[in-house]
A = this chain, B = another copy of it.
Amino acid sequence: MKKMIIKELLGDYKKILHHDITIQGWVRAFRSNRFIALNDGSTIHNLQIVVDFDKLDESVIKNIKTASSLKITGEVVESQGAGQSIEILAKKIQILGDHFTEDMEKTVLQPKKHSLEVLREQAHLRFRTNLFGSVFRVRSAVSFAIHEFFHKNHFFYINTPIITGADAEGAGEMFGVTAFDLNQIPRDENGEVDYSEDFFGKKTNLTVSGQLEAEAAAMGLGRVYTFGPTFRAENSNTTRHLAEFWMVEPEVAFNNLENNIDLAEDFLKYIIAYVLKNCKDDLEFLDKRFAEEQKSKPEKDRAKEGLIEKLENVIRKRFKRVSYTEAIEILMNSKENKKGKFKFPVEAWGADLQSEHERYLVEKHFDAPVVLFDYPKEIKAFYMRLNDDQKTVAAMDVLFPGIGEIIGGSQREERLSVLQDKMKEMNVDEHELWWYLDTRKFGSVPHAGFGLGLERLVLFVTGMTNIRDVIPFPRTPNSAEF
């Protein structure tokens, strides 16, 4: 007997019409003691199983409840009902696992908007819902599209270290990693923690970025990218922050800022086009959910576009490329600014942009994704390349509707002496980054790269609003269950 998954079966059923097959899954619904909606996770679609009381063991049928797991053998026939191509006439049904209690059924199997929070506490079970099934299938597709894009463009995937002795950009607080028993920490003669006794013989942290190591790799392999977890020990309890999240960081030898922006635009459009093409069913479900959610909002807060429409628009429109200086002028001259509608008024060149400014540019002024570039050097990291004006650096941020910054990157400073000056200015320890400086001493070349937070992109693509709902087991302040 051929074992199949529902996705394969629904995709190409003609060959097995009127054949017997075996199928396994979980009961999503059991109507009229006759129709089982079976799901096996491979697709959002359920397979309809038709039960014939006369032919099957009554004691088994009585015990079939929502969320029971079943193994069914039966004949594939064309469906009588609307909305499905085929169904299975069950000849044999076996209950594999215990079924849900009524309680679980309520919280886990019928997720309403108000219960997403409850489901977060049941992260181990939420994979079983339609909503999270779709979200995590889409997340998987986004991840595959990322690998495929880079693979097609001759990039090499590299793994940069998770445990690190360095603090890449002084970016926020880091988690410490130690093999010490915290009740018995060795101390030196001054009573300070003696890290030389720890596993690595030094103080180590969880990485905040693989960029600096990726730069070293690009200096030999040319085009590389990382795709791995990064960490921030920031006590931010928001819908946008995670203590542990996944980051993608390409780094390309010989690329300048313009090449870098081209790469970012191609990359984002490739992923979104991939998902539109390969996750149709899940996106249609998420699109409906998104529309429903909009209805419950006050009119002024509703999204202008539907979810799928928004995704299609992003790939259709050319991203607007605007220098920081132009953007500041637009913002300073905007009605919003003049009427005092920004929480943070834009007063002069040099100001850091806030989320409200980014959204104004993307959603109101340009009505398209925006790439801002050439930022004041003071508000950007030490490794970004100093422009000839000596005031700005070759940085770029990609801003998306509804979500703000989705990619941040730059051309890197490849000139040793300029880099060293900048490190002094910004108090970055040259001694600790000896190896990074080395990459500028021997065969240094212009190069550029960027970082994409995977969860931000998945939020955008799925239309979900809380970042904790697009990663299987979110890590946030006071929460590391599972």
Contacts and interface: CB of A to CB of B under 8 A. Distances in A.
B163 A244 contact: yes
A473 B210 CA distance: 11
A447 to B, nearest CB: 10
Interface stretch (A143-151, A384-392, A419-427): A143-151
A220 B446 CA distance: 47
Interface residues of A, number: 112
A41 B98 CA distance: 55
Contact of A222 (B42, B97, B253): B42
A178 B179 contact: no
Interface stretch (A29-37, A124-132, A346-354, A363-371): A124-132
A406 interface: no
A481 B435 contact: yes
B127 A217 contact: yes
B179 A177 contact: no
A182 B175 contact: no
Interface string A34-72: 000000111000000000000000000000000111010
A101 B441 CA distance: 9
Contacts of A41: 156, 218, 220-223, 253
B177 A206 contact: yes
A200 interface: yes
Given A175-B199, A243-B199, A435-B482, A136 B156 contact: yes
Contacts of A40: 222, 253-254
A173 interface: yes
A177 B173 CA distance: 13
B175 A183 contact: no
A69 B216 CA distance: 14
A235 B436 CA distance: 28
Interface in A178-221: 178-180, 182-183, 185, 192-193, 199-202, 204, 206, 213, 216-221
Contacts of A136: 156, 158, 217, 221
Contacts of A481: 165, 435
Contacts of A13: none
A291 interface: no
